[in-house]
Structure 1
């Protein structure tokens, strides 16, 4: 699958614990549980998001975000997938991925954002998400490396990143800290 195809026919990915399906308006109520979770908000990566911290407390605000995410898909800015439990069909959160074009050393890198309800901010769930990304996103997004953020207190996320082959970037990404990287093998 190539970059242009992923924006015309968004794939569904299935891991051992979760599946990823493009976010839809019908996910609004289920995703509000994640985005209204005050314990989850500190784990969200809102770098370069114009001040949005992704803490949403109303269905209307959640719906507006999903409409923006769908607008962004249509215009090939990024893709948001809903993270769905394979066992319960519960919506656990979302991921975002895009191919970054910039005049810096991270040009043509993929940026992965992971937003999970705090109950699901666990090493097994995050590892399953990362395994899907590692197996599919280099080719799907035509990137040579994937960057993602994990704050120092995100111990479950950092454990999952380490187990999936990610390592600390060791320097700022743009003006931001706490990024991890994995390069295509």
Structure 2
């Protein structure tokens, strides 16, 4: 099977209610609302990211976007904005990064991707998370050459937990992928 390199042509995904496009600097203002939301901030996955991202200004978001795009240019990971089509509103981001972080997608060694989902808390509904997870499982295993996708879910995020269960992600009781807690896994079928 010939897999296109997503770091040459970043894929755009679309579902019934959502559009996923590579993050760009012009998204900073809309993303500031998401990343300054205290509930969203408490549910972010900063594991292995070098600390907590304190997003107290749009300039911090711009710096974050610049960093994400540099990682994309280096072929390491991709961060997409999530746009809610009915309101034409950016409601957050998703990211796919390789595990272990010493590998790269499509290098023949990366078999697991970590999915980070940062969604504005007012949009953090079961249906939104399920639509994200369905898009991810429909595309990422094949397009990124993965066998497993893991993602973190805080124990108080009931809609996200329900979406994980609804989309066949299983709670990892013994996490051998990374040394952090509260992860869910779905393997390629």
SS in structure 2 opposite 1:135? helix
Q: In structure 1, what is the equivalent of residue 130 of structure 2?
A: 127
Q: In structure 1, what is the equivalent of residue 182 of structure 2?
A: 178
Q: In structure 2, what is the equivalent of residue 13 of structure 1?
A: 13
Structure 1 position 108 matched with structure 2 position 111: yes
Cα distance in 1 between the residues matched to 2:45 and 2:143: 22
What's the CA shift for 1:174? Answer: 2.3
Q: In structure 2, what is the equivalent of residue 29 of structure 1?
A: 29
- Kindly indicate whether the alpha-carbon contact (under 8 Å) linking 1:98 and 1:141 is maintained by their aligned counterparts in 2: no
- Kindly indicate whether the alpha-carbon contact (under 8 Å) linking 1:99 and 1:141 is maintained by their aligned counterparts in 2: no
Structure 1 position 79 matched with structure 2 position 87: no
Q: In structure 1, what is the equivalent of residue 90 of structure 2?
A: 91
Deviations 1:2-32 (A, max 9, x none): 3x61000011101112111100101000000
* Structure 1 residue ranges (4+ consecutive) displaced by more than 4 angstroms after TM superposition: none
Q: In structure 1, what is the equivalent of residue 105 of structure 2?
A: none
- Kindly indicate whether the alpha-carbon contact (under 8 Å) linking 1:38 and 1:55 is maintained by their aligned counterparts in 2: no
Gaps of 5+ in 1: none
Deviations 1:45-85 (A, max 9, x none): 0001111x234121111000000000000001100000001
Alpha-carbon RMSD across the aligned residues, in angstroms, is: 1.6
**Number of corresponding residues:** 181
TM-score normalised over the length of structure 1: 0.93
Cα distance in 1 between the residues matched to 2:101 and 2:65: 25
Cα distance in 2 between the residues matched to 1:48 and 1:102: 9
SS in structure 1 opposite 2:95? strand
Gaps of 5+ in 2: 103-108
